Amino acid sequence: MRQATLHQLKVFEAAARHSSFTRAAEELFLTQPTVSMQIKQLTKTVGLPLFEQVGRRLYLTEAGRELSTTCQQLFEQISQFEMTIADMKGLKQGNLRLTVVTTAKYVIPRLLGPFCQRYPGIDVSLTVTNHDQLLDRLTANQDDLYILSQPPENQDISCRPFLENPLVVMAASNHPLAKESHIPLPRLAEEPFIMREPGSGTRRAIQKLFDDQAIAIKVRLELGSNEAIKQAIAGNLGISVLSLHTLALEGASSEITILDVEGFPIQRHWYVIHPAGKQLSVVARTFFTYLLDEGKAIAEQTVLKLIQKPAA
Ligand code: PGA
């Protein structure tokens, strides 16, 4: 492998990621014959085929999969090295890869604003997904840091809470329960309920509460996004339980209100986590510290003050 060049490995990594020489060529601003030639030379160096063509699709061979994993580790190390060197030069620069659960998308971009202004050399890639998909990304070590409300119990992780994330009961503003206070929890079983999709952490928290109280709710609709659920609530399709933060930017004229139900809000937190043994890059460490030291205050000054508070 000493004869293999970094350039060849870069070309191979892009082709493996896209399962296509054409798309690798597009990404790297190369011609397709150049990509084919680089991979041919690399294949010769390795001494085993790296790709196989089945029908019109391109697949990695076993040797190709091994090389692909090696390339990912290699490029990760190189980018860590670049960030460390930049840090030694007094600069914070590099990439920050974050994955957050859907409820955090209402707050995290507000926290990224001042962070990116302070560190203009840091580029951020933010993935928003549900709880289960976030755990898949964590297991595959795809990002630097993850933000979620229910840290996994069976994985070795480093985990710190940084902000509250309460769940509240929401209904249309003109809903008959809107004017009532201290609504008993079992009363909710009489209302059509709009539920998040399987795999959602919000759904799991709601289910646990109702299961613990042996209350059977009537799920009328299942929707895969908080925004779609809010539209369905406003459209009088039913009530739901969502993070209070989904009401950010709703304003005083919102068609959604928070019901005063006993046992609510369900108090939860957002946690910033990463695999326990993971060597955080300089950039990831900087964001980790920023979240813990300043996240709450900045969230309160920006987005949280816009949110109508739940009834006490
Ligand atoms: P979810 O997670 O998007 O999977 O519902 C949100 C949360 O747990 O706060």
pLDDT along the chain (312 residues), means of 10: 90 96 96 96 96 92 96 90 83 90 91 93 94 94 94 91 94 93 93 95 93 92 94 95 87 83 92 91 92 90 67 44
Is there an atom of ligand 1 within 6 Å of 101 CB? Answer: yes
Counting other chains too, the contacts that 58-62 makes at CB distance below 8 Å and 24 or more residues apart are 58/15, 58/19, 58/20, 58/21, 59/19, 60/16, 60/19
CB within 8 A of 57, min separation 6: which ones?
Answer: 19
Is there an atom of ligand 1 within 6 Å of 202 CB? Answer: yes
CB within 8 A of 84, min separation 6: which ones?
Answer: 281, 282
Is there an atom of ligand 1 within 6 Å of 129 CB? Answer: no
Given the CA of residue 226, which atom of ligand 1 is nearest to it? 3
Ligand 1 centroid to Cα of residue 196, in Å, is: 9
pLDDT at 312: 43
Residue environment code for 158-169, b if the CB has 16+ CB neighbours within 10 A, otherwise e: beebbbbbebbb
Residue type, 303: V
Residue type, 127: T
* For the chain, domain boundaries: 6-73, 92-164+269-311, 167-258
Give the CATH architecture of domain 167-258. Answer: 3-Layer(aba) Sandwich (3.40)
Is there an atom of ligand 1 within 6 Å of 151 CB? Answer: no
Strands (E), the chain: 51-54, 57-60, 94-101, 122-129, 145-148, 157-164, 167-172, 192-196, 218-223, 240-243, 256-259, 269-275
pTM: 0.78
With the most atoms of ligand 1 within 8 angstroms of its CB, the residue from 107, 127, 162, 200 to mutate is 200
Is there an atom of ligand 1 within 6 Å of 243 CB? Answer: yes
The CATH number fitting domain 92-164+269-311, selected from 3.40.190.10, 3.40.50.10860, 3.40.50.2300, 3.40.50.2030: 3.40.190.10
Say how many residues make up the chain: 312
Give yes or no on whether 92-164+269-311 and 167-258 have one common fold. Answer: yes
Say which residue the tokens 């928290």 belong to.
205
Fold category of 6-73 in CATH: Arc Repressor Mutant, subunit A (1.10.10)
Given the CA of residue 199, which atom of ligand 1 is nearest to it? 4
Provide the 8-state DSSP code for 103. Answer: G
pLDDT at 250: 72
Counting other chains too, the contacts that 215-221 makes at CB distance below 8 Å and 24 or more residues apart are 215/185, 215/186, 215/188, 215/189, 216/189, 217/188, 217/189, 217/193, 218/189, 218/190, 218/191, 218/192, 218/193, 219/193, 219/194, 219/195, 220/192, 220/193, 220/194, 221/192, 221/194, 221/195
Half-sphere exposure of 74 toward its Cβ, with a 13 Å CA cutoff?
A: 14
Largest Cα–Cα distance of the chain, in whole Å?
75
Count the helix, strand and coil residues of the chain and give each as a percent rounded to the nearest 5. Answer: 45, 25, 30
Provide the 8-state DSSP code for 101. Answer: E
Question: Do 255 and 230 form a contact (C-beta atoms < 8 A)?
Answer: no
| Omega before 265 within 30 of 0, i.e. cis | yes
